Amino acid sequence: MRKRLKPLSSPTKDHRRMTLNSVELSIVKRKRANRKRVLKLQSLNYTCQKKSNNSGDDNNKQLHCREDPLKITVSLSSSSSSLGENVDGVVLSRETREEKHYGVVSVIGRRSEMEDAVRVELDFAVKGSKKFDFFGVYDGHGGAHVAGMCRERLHEVLVSELENNNNGDDDECEWEKILEGCFGKMDEEVRGNAAARTVGTTAVVGVVGEDEVVVANCGDCRAVLSRDGVPLALSTDHKRTDKDEFLILGSDGLWDVVSNQLACKVVKKCFHSQRNRLSNNKDLLNRGGSRSTAAAALLAELAMARGSRDNISVIV
């Protein structure tokens, strides 16, 4: 997905690395718009190490480093709050400067294992006269192995795809094709690793240029852009939701005589019937069969009653 932004006016590059030392961590509990209750917790200090690379003559570039303290406040929404907006999570407070900047925080939370991974590469790729920065967040599933592989390799695979994208225009990129190829090749690398066969990850990456932002995602990691105070979703979550009630798989012996709409209607009624009265296969239920089994049996019976002449297989 592409979003056009105003060109960045900053002539400098900014690299930050955050290290844990010790500043105050507090919970701000809001009950009314003009009232706050601050609960002091354990003290933590974060030091933000900033590296600014001043542009200019390539032969005279200077690298400046300094460490700035960074205040971190964790705000929790109050269930009884009448505020129009509640903000949860980690807030990074620092002075705004006319330069390219970013902040990264990754915490283990209440989990016993850290499976997330992040990657930031400024000026990771050049296409014609354009330079691009890379930002990636990976949420491992079943372990951190695949998320770690993506952290180390995905941006490099993307550079390779960019270099192979020869469309006759040095400045224009076929981003959809490039990112699909990148994700596909990264998936092939993971599949070839025996240690990753039972592990996976979701991913969201952002490629930021001077006048454009390109976002790609797989799974439920998300990218949100704030424009004039209005949040714009740049990605779509790929995940099951509460609206996804059930899944029906069937051979053409079912679908030749039963429409999609009718099949869903029959299964829904079967699920919502306390005694599964719509199914004649009561013996199966008495032997411990589930409502899903009853629904599958009912669809097969319906297909036969409608004159299906093929084999019928159904999974609900």
Q: CA 125, 144, 240: angle at the middle one, nearest 5?
A: 90
At residue 211 the predicted structure's pLDDT band, cuts being 50, 70 and 90, is: confident
Q: For residue range 225-236, list pLDDT tens digits in order.
A: 888 888 888 888
- Mean of pLDDT over the chain: 71
| Residue ranges of domains in the chain | 10-97, 106-239, 249-315
Model confidence at 149, pLDDT cuts 50, 70, 90, reads very high
State which amino acid sits at residue 11: P
- Fold of the domain spanning 106-239: Phosphatase 2c; domain 1 (3.60.40)
pTM for this prediction: 0.54
What pLDDT band is residue 171 in, cutting at 50, 70 and 90? low
Is pLDDT larger for residue 14 or for residue 132? 132
The mean pLDDT value for 177-202 works out to 90
* Phi/psi of residue 67, nearest 5 degrees: -110, 125
pLDDT score recorded for residue 56: 47
Predicted local confidence at residue 303, as pLDDT: 92
User: Residue 66: pLDDT above 80?
Assistant: no
More confident residue, 207 or 173: 207
Instruction: Check whether 130 has a pLDDT greater than 80.
Output: yes
Q: What is the pLDDT of residue 155?
A: 96
pLDDT given at position 170: 64
205-208, Cβ contacts within 8 angstroms, sequence gap of 24 or more? 205/134, 205/135, 205/136, 205/137, 205/154, 205/155, 205/158, 205/179, 206/134, 206/135, 206/136, 206/234, 207/125, 207/132, 207/133, 207/134, 207/135, 207/158, 207/175, 208/132, 208/133, 208/134, 208/135
Q: What is the pLDDT of residue 260?
A: 92
The model's confidence at residue 281, banded by pLDDT at 50, 70 and 90, is low
Span of 6-20, 115-129, 142-156, 278-292 with lowest mean pLDDT: 6-20
The Cα–Cα gap between 202 and 63 comes to 35
Task: Identify the pLDDT of residue 217.
Answer: 92
Q: Which residue has the higher pLDDT, 3 or 43?
A: 3
pLDDT for the residue 187: 93
Average pLDDT over residues 71-83: 33
Q: How far is CA 25 from CA 72, 86, 134, in A?
A: 6, 18, 30
pLDDT (mean) for 244-250: 82
Going by pLDDT thresholds of 50, 70 and 90, the confidence category of residue 242 is low
